[in-house]
Chain A
Amino acid sequence: MAANELAASLSVVLGGATVTDLARLTGGASRETWRFVADDRPLILQRQRGGDVRDMATEFAVLRAAHAAGVPVPEVITASTDPSGLGAAYMVLSHVDGETIARKILRDETFAGARTHLTADFARALARLHSIDTASVPSLQSTDQVVQYRQVLDSFGDPHPAFELAFRWLERHRPPTGRQCVVHGDFRMGNIMVGPDGLRAVLDWELSHVGDPMEDLGWLCVKAWRFGSRKPVAGIGEYDELFGAYAQAAGVDVDPDVVRWWEVLGTLKWGIMCIMQTQSHITGLARSHELAAIGRRVCENEHDLFLALDGRW
């Protein structure tokens, strides 16, 4: 669909609003993101791409539930899985001003003030989103992450002895099933809008599911999301800061060993996701030397897993 056709269709789904300034933003492999203005209001369009089999209805349902629960998220203006409107499933969201690029948030002077309290902001947002009533989003799946990523790894067929060692460790050290709640699933720098005043919006809910809330805390601490910083929590904070702020906001104690288990699983997951990304190049879904090169980052995760299994963090 050409941009002018898309603008005309957007006007229709927005009840005849005047659509201007439509511009494509960089997006992920599963969806396109566009910015535009409707009757002087800046909005965001996310449209599903061919090949993505996820049900977008679940994502906008969880976004609405998060908004109702007081989690800072963009507001869902309108959304539909009917492709007759915009050619694919879509959601139109309120535009939130700010920065998502991790290196800027970690290093630019603009965010120096925000960095002093972002870890606590993250903890509060997580506590709030973990309080969402799972019954309000009945289509959210409860998935065993170990089983799920084992299946993904096996589907590629290439042997990875280091990942097998990690899977063994995870199976032998699995914590008892904890509280089950709505989990964001991809809560990290890059998916969080930040302003000079701190956290502004939690974005990219497409991996949300029902699971152990500690999964989100562990994922936030995975080394890849530190972007070269030495600080373990998203490159900006210490474990104790995150755990203390979360315990205060959620009213439950955090067991560091449980978070560590999820951090190890997160490191393994990111390694498997690197294989997924390079496969999208190899199979021709998205030809790109950048995606191709990500396949050679798998060994960074294997390295980190070894350190983790040795107790060296």
Chain B
Amino acid sequence: MIPHDPPSAQQLVESVREWLERDVLASTTGRVQFHTRVAINVLAMVERELELGPAQATDHRDRLQALGFADDAELAAAIRSGVVDDDGPQAGAVRDAVWASVRDKLIVANPRYLEA
């Protein structure tokens, strides 16, 4: 529950992105236009994170808990130290969980990369 009036944070970011696409892109050239494109991509990424982030956070926590880890730091340490045996029964589940996290990150950061 948040006390704020509409527009939502996502709609506010969207409005700025649309202005960059509609007005700024056409009236700039060269380096500033390139950086405008980067800014449009950044804002679109923020919009996707605002939309998908809460569900992704729940999924991420559930995946780690199913493997018995509190967070990414514990998982990373276990892989590094060899606690997760590379050929053992847990290895496949760990790989699947890490792969699912990477996919979630890409869906926010650059969904087209998954299609390539």
Contact = CB atoms under 8 A, between A and B. Distances in A.
Interface string B62-102: 00000000011101110110100010000000110011011
Contacts of A296: 45, 105, 108-110
Contacts of B86: 168, 172
Interface string A281-313: 000000001101100111110110010000000
A168 B79 contact: yes
Contacts of B41: 293
Interface in A150-186: 159-165, 167-168, 172
B44 to A, nearest CB: 11
Most chain B CB within a 10 A radius of its CB, from A159, A161, A163, A302:
A161
B38 to A, nearest CB: 5
Interface residues of B, number: 30
Given A289-B38, A290-B38, A306 B110 contact: no
A302 B76 CA distance: 14
Nearest to B116: A228
Given A165-B95, A289-B39, A296-B45, A303 B79 contact: no
Q: Which secondary structure characterizes the binding site on chain B?
A: helix
B109 A297 contact: yes
Interface in A43-99: none
Contact of A165 (B35, B79, B106, B109): B79
Contact of B35 (A160, A289, A298): A289
A302 B105 contact: yes
Chain A residues touching B, majority SS: helix
A142 B80 CA distance: 25
A167 B42 contact: no
A292 B109 CA distance: 12
Nearest to A163: B76
Contacts of B45: 293, 296
A160 B76 contact: yes
B102 A302 contact: yes
A296 B42 CA distance: 9
A292 B38 CA distance: 10
B26 interface: no
B79 A164 contact: yes
Nearest to B69: A161
B114 interface: yes
B75 A159 contact: yes
Of all A-B residue pairs in the complex, the 7 with the closest CB atoms, nearest first, are A299-B105, A159-B76, A164-B79, A296-B109, A159-B73, A159-B72, A302-B102
Interface of B: 35, 38-39, 41-42, 45, 71-73, 75-77, 79-80, 82, 86, 94-95, 98-99, 101-103, 105-106, 108-110, 113-114
20 contacts: A159-B71, A159-B75, A159-B77, A161-B94, A162-B101, A164-B79, A165-B98, A167-B80, A168-B82, A289-B35, A289-B42, A292-B42, A299-B102, A299-B106, A300-B106, A300-B109, A303-B106, A306-B95, A306-B99, A306-B102
Given A161-B75, A164-B76, A303-B114, 16 more contacts: A159-B71, A159-B75, A161-B94, A161-B101, A162-B99, A163-B76, A168-B80, A289-B35, A289-B39, A296-B108, A299-B102, A299-B110, A303-B102, A303-B103, A306-B98, A306-B102
